[in-house]
Amino acid sequence: MALKPKPEPRLTAGEKTRVAALIARMAKRGIAGEDVHLGDLTSRVDHIFEEAAARSERENDAMTRELETARDAVAVAKTASRTAGRTTRPAARTALRTAEDALRRTERAARRIGL
């Protein structure tokens, strides 16, 4: 089974701007000739991508934890709704709807970042 290549991390607007500026500087140096040293600029671009990958990993971990928390909250609310007495049942149903709405919002956000 072949390993899937790791996807490129999503860059923020600031990171995209910095990378674009560095690539423009590389192009400017490239005009000067083929034997011009570009190592300093390429290492800076690589550093930006490494930092973006680390940030993306932290965000994915946090989103995974948030999803688990939201799923647990729905499970607790369902149990409370099922075991509620006659007087507390409407409040339990409202709590269940609130928990399910929060889970849907969290799942939507997770899909946007690729989880």
Give the Cβ contact number of residue 87 at 10 Å.
7
Helices marked H in 2-115 = 13-32, 39-83, 89-112
Six-digit token pair at 75?
Answer: 């499970």
Contact assessment for residue 77 and residue 92, using Cβ atoms and an 8 Å cutoff: yes
Domain coordinates in residue numbering, the chain: 13-112
For the full predicted model, state whether its pTM sits above 0.75.
Answer: no
CB-CB contact of 63 with 114 (8 Å): no
Q: What is the pLDDT of residues 27-79, one digit of tens each?
A: 999 898 888 898 999 999 999 999 999 999 999 999 999 999 999 999 999 99
List C-alpha distances in Å: 92 to 32, 44, 99: 71, 54, 10
